[in-house]
Chain A
């Protein structure tokens, strides 16, 4: 299979912080490649290096056979880029934004109008073509920003968390668009922190955390790991000594980890475990203060895949990215 992207030993330091740590992977032509990781994992940093915006500290990037460090011009013509924040010109109309990008990418004059129209219709923005983007909703801006990224018909499209912060309807629309583009032959590099999104859209998924790649596989194969790190979280009013051992002995529990005043019980089947926990509380005369099931967190998936012990990392929420170590840079 031919490769659209070949990355070898790529790394990036911000000062002393090693944000991307010698990663290597290939993206095949024609696939949707997911780049999945929690907040601060190094996804955006990697994508910015792949799109020439950031200079790597080390390693090599080859896109469509061109080494980026030596010859980025032919690559730049063939890639499109949708950044984390929709970067539309709010002072320009939807039409003006598209025309500007078309000219910037040297789309032939005779085709600019028809392509812009086609995209605006496809993205449901045709009615709003003469409205300034400052009056657009977040979802509309994101759609416009994707339209701007593909007006020159790139062979490879990078999207950085294209659905984050959008409502269900906009999210569905954007996912459908990504599928459509891919079916028309565009290779997609999709950065996301949502396991669900990676499962829905990607042919293969790379999992990154703390700048390191854990695994690259099909979503189907990774699901095994995802399943293993679901959990039930419970807090008791007064947890007696040695309760951890007892909890770990409950049927279905793989690991019990104490998180503040709560216990997190990892399991492949949270709904069954829920009943066991309630039963356990009744038998031991314990009062449950809170009880909830959690989907797999990326931090845990990462630990599971790399063979480390789950539950050793602090996190806030189940599904969203965990352990916000993110240093704000804006």
Chain B
């Protein structure tokens, strides 16, 4: 029992070691800034400015977008880069489980997303001047969304390759695809039944709905369900990452 606790403690510390190192090494890389930081703002303004829109709706959308894009930017960028320079081998050879390594990598994107969200919340509130109905829900949404979307990004990072360029394309495609089916730009209420059924397949839908609850106090899905789905999808997204890491160990990447 004691040994088990010791091991769990070790693994937690190792996950944090991995994450904190990446935070120091990669956060200010141009690739991360470009895909993580600027993209959501750019998209937000290009899609939102022209349309008449309630301020609260704008904030909720901004929060969903920033968590989504920023969190998912880290994995596909960092892991192939580390494979290329060979530092990933050190992580793989270290005495820790693969899950620990993956959770550490997920934390990198998640913290990035949380930090950017806080900034965009401050900017958004300054611009729109709204107050948040349920801050706890907002915090929960950002946290769980950051986890789920970072885990999603890591799936692409886990593709056996040494070239970040190889995964940038599919990961960007998927993110844009999700964006358009997810009830971010068209509220769920205004969707047809088919479109809505599709929207329910995307975790981003639940993040957006949760943000709506938090900011304006109204959403279509129960908040607890939103949170449960985000948590569950984050955990589920680990599966393909694990599978692809196993594959990489066979192929020799």
Contact = CB atoms under 8 A, between A and B. Distances in A.
Given A53-B93, A76-B95, A101-B90, A106 B25 contact: no
Contacts of A101: 90
Contacts of B127: none
Contact of A54 (B10, B13, B86, B249): B249
A81 B162 contact: no
B24 interface: yes
Interface stretch (A85-93, A170-178, A257-265): A85-93
Contacts of A96: 24
Given A91-B25, A104-B17, A104-B18, A76 B89 contact: no
Nearest to B25: A91
Nearest to A48: B252
Of B17, B85, B252, the most chain A CB neighbours within 10 A belong to B252
- Secondary structure type dominating chain A contacts: loop
Given A54-B252, A89-B87, A330-B84, A104 B25 contact: no
Interface in A316-330: 329-330
A73 B249 CA distance: 16
B51 interface: no
B170 to A, nearest CB: 21
Contacts of A53: 89, 92-93, 249
Given A54-B249, A54-B252, A87-B86, A76 B93 contact: yes
Interface in B103-126: none
Contacts of A48: 252
A77 interface: yes
Contacts of B93: 51-53, 76, 79, 81
Contacts of B86: 83, 85-87
Contact of B90 (A55, A77, A104): A104
B55 interface: no
A104 B91 contact: yes
Contact of A330 (B162, B249, B251): B162
B90 A76 contact: no
B25 A89 contact: yes
B90 A87 contact: yes
Contact of A103 (B13, B24, B85): B13
A313 B17 CA distance: 49
B178 to A, nearest CB: 31
Contacts of B90: 81, 87, 101, 104, 148
Contacts of A52: 92-93
A73 B6 CA distance: 14
Contacts of B84: 330
Interface residues of A, number: 32
Contacts of A81: 89-90, 93
B38 to A, nearest CB: 21
B199 to A, nearest CB: 40
Interface string A58-84: 000000000000000100110101010
B10 to A, nearest CB: 5
B229 to A, nearest CB: 34
Contacts of B96: 104
B14 A104 contact: yes
A192 B248 CA distance: 25
A79 B252 CA distance: 20
Interface in A162-203: none
A88 B89 CA distance: 11
B127 to A, nearest CB: 35
B253 to A, nearest CB: 9
A90 B89 CA distance: 15
Nearest to B18: A104
A169 to B, nearest CB: 24
A100 interface: yes
Nearest to A100: B21
Which 3 pairs, one residue from A and one from B, show the smallest C-beta to C-beta distance? A87-B86, A76-B95, A103-B17
Interface of B: 10, 13-14, 17-18, 21, 24-25, 84-87, 89-96, 162, 246, 249-252
Interface of A: 14, 45, 48, 51-55, 73, 76-77, 79, 81, 83, 85-92, 96, 100-101, 103-106, 148, 329-330
24 contacts: A52-B93, A53-B93, A53-B249, A55-B250, A73-B95, A81-B89, A81-B90, A81-B93, A85-B85, A87-B86, A87-B87, A89-B21, A92-B21, A100-B21, A101-B90, A104-B14, A104-B17, A104-B91, A104-B94, A105-B94, A105-B95, A106-B95, A329-B252, A330-B84
